[in-house]
Amino acid sequence: MKGGKLIIFSAPSGSGKTTIVRHLLQQEELNLAFSISATSRPRRGKEKNKEHYYFMSLSEFKNHIKNDDFLEWEEVYRDNFYGTLKSEVERLWAEGKNVIFDIDVVGGLRIKKKFPEQTLAVFVKPPSVDELKIRLKKRSTESEDKINMRIAKASVELATAPQFDSIIKNYDLDTALKEAHDLVAEFIK
């Protein structure tokens, strides 16, 4: 596999990375396209298949693992698998795009390791774990149990921040958006 640039945004759930990624996708001059991940988790709220994720059953997901179809995959939460299909990145590269990822820290670092020169790996840091809890509760798309699972994972994820190329502190959204834009613009130059 070879092609354009890979831009990774990783962070604990609720850090605001999805908002940042969406904002960057609207900036035409960055020529970005979103890597749609595959997942075995159920659809949430207004999510659409082939837009937010390629939703699939656990057995379908495991078949893709067996066939070596993934660039990286992860059991992010128990029985909830997420992964980047090689075919997805190839599809976007064929369109001449730089590919942007909203993926977990382990997956992000794995892609960075596979394509060290082509990849910019950015970690988005939330103000605090307490603030994360508030944001996840406000989102109210998950049960209390699931929220607690995400919070427990956040501390482990925060410890990986130094392994990324850059860290954006998402304390103030406008500042974070600008920082993210400048980092990406510089990297794809």
Tokens of 48: 């659409």
> C-beta of 132: minimal distance to ligand 5GP in Å?
12
**Nearer Cβ to ligand 5GP (5/52):** 52
Residue 144 Cα distances to 6, 81, 138, 150, angstroms = 34, 20, 12, 10
**Nearer Cβ to ligand 5GP (42/162):** 42
Alpha carbon distance 170, 17 (integer Å): 9
**Nearer Cβ to ligand 5GP (28/122):** 122
Q: CA angle, 18 as apex, 52 and 175 as ends, to 5°?
A: 155
Alpha carbon distance 114, 138 (integer Å): 36
Residues within the interface to ligand 5GP (CB under 6 A): 13, 37, 41, 72, 74, 76, 82-84, 102-104, 106-107
> C-beta of 189: minimal distance to ligand 5GP in Å?
26
Which residue has its beta carbon closest to ligand 5GP? Answer: 107
> C-beta of 2: minimal distance to ligand 5GP in Å?
20
> C-beta of 175: minimal distance to ligand 5GP in Å?
22
**Nearer Cβ to ligand 5GP (48/189):** 48
> C-beta of 166: minimal distance to ligand 5GP in Å?
17
CA dihedral 146, 167, 39, 154 (to 10 degrees): -20
> C-beta of 41: minimal distance to ligand 5GP in Å?
5
Alpha carbon 183 to chain centroid, angstroms: 16
Residues 6+ apart with CB under 8 A from 99: 4, 5, 6, 7, 32, 33, 34, 35, 89, 92, 93
Number of other CB atoms surrounding residue 80 within 10 Å: 16
**Nearer Cβ to ligand 5GP (66/189):** 66
**Nearer Cβ to ligand 5GP (74/179):** 74
